[in-house]
């Protein structure tokens, strides 16, 4: 069984007619398809919203494939099905994930190292340990940090830096913002930083020696 991770190649591929290549019964019944346009939950990014032949399905993954779990009878191996994802959900997820990379590239040079994150709508955040920098002490310092990070981010948005991805010799996919940052990542991303709009840091928290930045962003 070989499933192509098509979402790695094209964030904006929203539907496809594709072949069922496997059927499973445990732990829940589901199918795997040849052209894997569906992003499963992972790396801080939620599942896509998915339909198969017009009916909603849930999503899971294992080492072999992304599995789609429709209600009712399953198609057989070799049959063709129409898989579609919600474009607005995909675009929102891609924007939040991409903005997370961009903001991280603006925060790390200030003396911080990332230790946690989420790119989920309504709860996106970046969590840092101090790595030579200084935690902001008081509201004025927090405002100054936010302004510094957002000023840098807006400069990079204006520069329309391309996002690219390559799989290395060890099979690790690495996402690059051209000239800015490269990180291991399996998520979906915008084409360039210019595709991002409404980037805001909505909350700054310091606790137990860590910095937590909550943020939001949209696809232009």
What backbone phi and psi angles, to 5 degrees, belong to 97?
-65, -45
| pTM, full prediction | 0.95
Q: Does the domain made of 6-85 have the CATH classification 2.30.40.10?
A: no
Structural contact between residues 97 and 8, judged by C-beta atoms closer than 8 angstroms: no
Integer CA distances (angstroms), 43 to 31, 119, 158, in order: 23, 8, 27
How many angstroms separate the CA atoms of 55 and 44, rounded? 26
170 pLDDT band (50/70/90 cuts)? very high
Q: What is the mean pLDDT of residues 77-106?
A: 98
Name the residue ranges covered by the structural domains of the chain: 6-85, 89-219
Domains 6-85 and 89-219 share a fold: no
- pLDDT of 1 > 80? The answer is no
**48, two tokens:** 């896509």
The top-level CATH class assigned to 89-219 is: alpha beta
Rounded mean pLDDT of the chain?
A: 96
């Amino acid at each position: 069984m070989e499933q192509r991770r098509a979402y790695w190649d094209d964030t904006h591929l929203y539907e496809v007619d594709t072949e069922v290549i496997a059927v499973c019964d445990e732990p829940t019944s589901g199918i795997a398809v040849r052209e894997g346009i569906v992003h499963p939950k992972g790396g801080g990014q939620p599942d896509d919203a998915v339909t198969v032949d017009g009916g909603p399905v849930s999503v899971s993954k294992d080492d072999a494939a992304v599995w789609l779990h429709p209600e009712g009878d399953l198609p057989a191996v070799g049959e063709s099905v129409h898989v579609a994802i919600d474009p607005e959900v995909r675009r929102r997820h891609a924007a939040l994930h991409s903005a997370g990379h961009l903001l991280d590239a603006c925060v790390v040079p200030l003396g911080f190292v990332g230790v946690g994150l989420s790119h989920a709508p309504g709860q996106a955040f970046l969590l840092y340990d101090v790595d030579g920098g200084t935690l902001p002490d008081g509201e004025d310092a927090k405002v100054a940090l936010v302004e510094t990070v957002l000023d840098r981010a807006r400069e990079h948005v204006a520069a329309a830096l391309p996002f690219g991805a390559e799989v290395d010799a060890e099979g690790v996919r690495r996402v690059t913002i051209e000239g800015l940052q490269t990180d291991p990542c399996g998520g979906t991303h915008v084409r360039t930083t210019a595709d991002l709009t409404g980037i805001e840091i909505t909350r700054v928290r310091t606790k137990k020696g860590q910095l937590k930045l909550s943020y939001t962003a949209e696809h232009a």
